[in-house]
């Protein structure tokens, strides 16, 4: 392979770029996972991650991908043949729906168009019809990575409560947590699901369930087979900072540093930074004359932007041109969006110049690939970023 100078721009919507602080934190000898030093590490990350989930309740950590956390949420709370209500927001909602069927659950899937978030009203109406309370859980995706659409989880909880329904609320916030606001306890989420390689800025390999008391009580009645995913044994060991099987020790070092970095910046500042980059990206897309997939402004993702290419042009061809010429990876269109859209990730360890380099690569790629567009997208982003730059004192003035 020919050497390419400079860094690779990894601008997919996860895994996100891993900052040096986290890489250095993981670059340590593996320690005895039954010893006292590990117990301190375990207690630190198990306590710290609660602040990111905004919960006072337990969070369990698995050596797994987000898919594992999906399964853990289901098998710990439900019984074979239970009915669950889901909403089609995109590819990941669709995949989660597929998992429920494999596990022997009866899943109702409310159809969506992949351009809007969850319709809380539709969920509320269906629950109101369920007078026998056959539906045991509502499963929704907070932030749909395939489409760049964010759903209003608080409104889903209000719909469940207004229907007077006892169903659990299970929420996938895999690409949301750590990048956009998520309030597990305040929104009444019974199981919140995420993984390490998105807003937590880490490599893949850790997944999480934040568990409400109601979900924990349901787990005592649940009969779906579980061993590796069982909360009971996990929580028993976690009480002392340990795990029931060999943990991903070096990833936990990284998690400790990731939590410290998020809290050091301040979660509200992290969320504001992501919102600012998201708006700058959409302004660039509009200036190019292209279309953002998400249709409702209040649902626009602050983590990624999914962009439709004009009819007759290949999104995958554009991505290849950009990779070949500028060593930058963009997210592919998934399922219904295959070759119709590309995804620009703007999450995690990311700043103004990172975004402008990303958008410059896209604009140059559009020109080389012959995709119809107008010039000036990067300039539109520059103008917005300059107007909204956080005001900071210089070192000299501060001194």
Tell me the per-residue pLDDT of 311-333, one tens digit each, with 9 for 90 and over. Answer: 999 999 999 999 999 999 999 99
Distance between CA atoms of residues 96 and 275, nearest Å: 27
- For residues 169 and 137, the answer to whether their CB atoms sit within 8 Å is yes
Residue 192 has pLDDT above 60, yes or no: yes
Q: Which of 158, 144, 163, 152 is nearest to 97 (CA)?
A: 144
The confidence score (pLDDT) of residue 180 equals 98
Furthest-apart CA pair in the chain: how many Å? 69
> What order of strands is seen across the sheet that includes strand 304-308?
9-11, 328-332, 341-345, 304-308, 291-292
- For residues 342 and 314, the answer to whether their CB atoms sit within 8 Å is no
Residue 164 has pLDDT above 90, yes or no: yes
Q: How many of the other CB atoms lie within 10 Å of CB of 128?
A: 13
Q: How many of the other CB atoms lie within 10 Å of CB of 19?
A: 18
CATH topology of domain 9-16+266-387: 3.90.1150
Give the phi and the psi of residue 211 in degrees, each rounded to 5: -120, 125
DSSP for 158-214 reads HHHHHTT---EEEEE-TTTTTTS---TTTTT-SEEEEETTSTT---S-EEEEEE-HH
The confidence score (pLDDT) of residue 393 equals 53
Mark residue 225 as left, alpha or beta (left: phi above 0; alpha: psi -120 to 50; beta: remaining): beta
Q: How far apart are the first and last CA of the chain?
A: 50
The confidence score (pLDDT) of residue 399 equals 45
**Burial tier of 123 (Cβ tally within 10 Å: 0-12, 13-18, 19+):** buried
Question: Do the bridges between strand 168-172 and strand 191-195 make them parallel or antiparallel, or are there none, so unpaired?
Answer: parallel
Q: Tens of pLDDT along 212-238?
A: 999 999 999 999 999 999 999 999 999
The confidence score (pLDDT) of residue 313 equals 98
Question: Mean pLDDT score of the chain, rounded to an integer?
Answer: 96
Question: Three-state SS for 333?
Answer: coil
Q: What's the full length of the chain, in residues?
A: 399
Q: Which of 108, 95, 176 is nearest to 142 (CA)?
A: 176
Q: How many of the other CB atoms lie within 10 Å of CB of 200?
A: 27
Distance between CA atoms of residues 91 and 94, nearest Å: 5
Distance between CA atoms of residues 249 and 63, nearest Å: 9
Q: Where in the chain is the domain with CATH 3.90.1150.10?
A: 9-16+266-387
Distance between CA atoms of residues 107 and 386, nearest Å: 48
Which pLDDT band holds residue 116 (cuts at 50, 70, 90)?
very high
Q: Long-range contacts: 157-164, Cβ < 8 Å, 24+?
A: 157/187, 157/188, 157/189, 158/120, 159/120, 159/121, 159/123, 159/124, 159/127, 160/123, 160/124, 160/127, 160/188, 161/188, 162/124, 163/124, 163/127, 163/128
Residue 391 has pLDDT above 90, yes or no: no
The residue-averaged pLDDT of 327-341 equals 97
Q: What stretches of the chain show up as alpha helix (H) in DSSP? A: 20-26, 36-53, 66-75, 91-102, 120-129, 153-162, 213-221, 231-238, 249-265, 267-288, 315-326, 352-369, 377-387, 395-398
Residue 55 has pLDDT above 80, yes or no: yes
Q: How many of the other CB atoms lie within 10 Å of CB of 307?
A: 27
- For residues 58 and 234, the answer to whether their CB atoms sit within 8 Å is no
Q: Where in the chain is the domain with CATH 3.40.640.10?
A: 20-263
20-263: which CATH architecture?
Answer: 3-Layer(aba) Sandwich (3.40)
Q: How much of the chain exceeds pLDDT 90, in percent?
A: 96
Distance between CA atoms of residues 129 and 132, nearest Å: 9
Query: Is 343 assigned a ligand-binding role in the annotation?
Result: yes
Residue 108 has pLDDT above 80, yes or no: yes
The residue-averaged pLDDT of 332-348 equals 97
Which pLDDT band holds residue 372 (cuts at 50, 70, 90)?
very high
Distance between CA atoms of residues 286 and 276, nearest Å: 16
The pair of structure tokens assigned to 212 is 């409400």
**Cis link prior to 149 (omega < 30° from 0)?**
no
Which pLDDT band holds residue 189 (cuts at 50, 70, 90)?
very high
The confidence score (pLDDT) of residue 2 equals 80
């Amino acid at each position: 392979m020919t050497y390419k100078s400079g860094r690779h721009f990894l601008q997919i919507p996860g895994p996100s770029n891993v900052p040096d602080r986290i890489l250095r934190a993981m670059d340590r000898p593996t320690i005895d996972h039954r010893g006292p030093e590990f117990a301190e590490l375990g207690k630190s990350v198990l306590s710290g991650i609660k602040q990111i989930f905004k919960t006072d309740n337990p969070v369990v950590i698995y050596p797994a991908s987000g898919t594992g956390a999906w399964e853990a949420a289901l098998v710990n709370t439900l019984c074979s043949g239970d009915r669950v209500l889901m909403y089609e927001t995109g590819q990941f909602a669709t995949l989660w729906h597929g998992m429920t069927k494999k596990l022997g659950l009866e899943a109702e899937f409310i159809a969506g168009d992949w351009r809007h978030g969850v319709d809380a009203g539709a969920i509320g109406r269906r629950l109101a019809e369920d007078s026998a309370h056959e539906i045991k859980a509502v499963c929704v995706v907070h932030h749909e990575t395939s489409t760049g659409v964010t759903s209003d989880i608080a409104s889903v909880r209000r719909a469940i409560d207004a229907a007077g329904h006892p169903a659990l609320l299970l929420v996938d916030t895999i690409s949301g947590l750590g990048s956009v606001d998520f309030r597990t306890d305040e929104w009444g989420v019974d199981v919140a699901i995420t993984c390490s390689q998105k807003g937590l800025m880490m490599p893949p390999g850790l997944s999480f369930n934040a568990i409400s008391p109601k979900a924990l009580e349901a787990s005592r009645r649940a009969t779906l087979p579980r061993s590796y995913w069982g909360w009971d044994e996990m929580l028993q060991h976690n009480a002392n900072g340990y795990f029931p099987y060999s943990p991903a020790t070096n990833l936990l070092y990284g998690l400790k540093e990731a939590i410290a970095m998020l809290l050091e910046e301040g979660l509200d500042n992290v969320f504001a930074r992501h919102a600012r980059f998201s708006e700058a990206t959409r302004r660039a897309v509009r200036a190019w004359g292209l279309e953002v997939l998400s249709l409702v402004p209040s649902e626009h993702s602050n983590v990624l932007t999914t962009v439709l290419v004009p009819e007759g042009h290949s999104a995958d061809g554009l991505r290849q041109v950009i990779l070949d010429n500028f060593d930058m990876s963009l997210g592919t269109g998934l399922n219904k969006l295959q070759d119709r859209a590309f995804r620009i990730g703007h999450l995690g360890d990311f700043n103004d110049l990172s975004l402008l380099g990303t958008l410059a690569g896209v604009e140059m790629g559009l020109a080389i690939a012959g995709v119809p567009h107008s010039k000036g997208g990067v300039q539109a982003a520059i103008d917005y970023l300059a107007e909204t730059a956080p005001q900071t004192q210089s070192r000299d003035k501060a001194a």
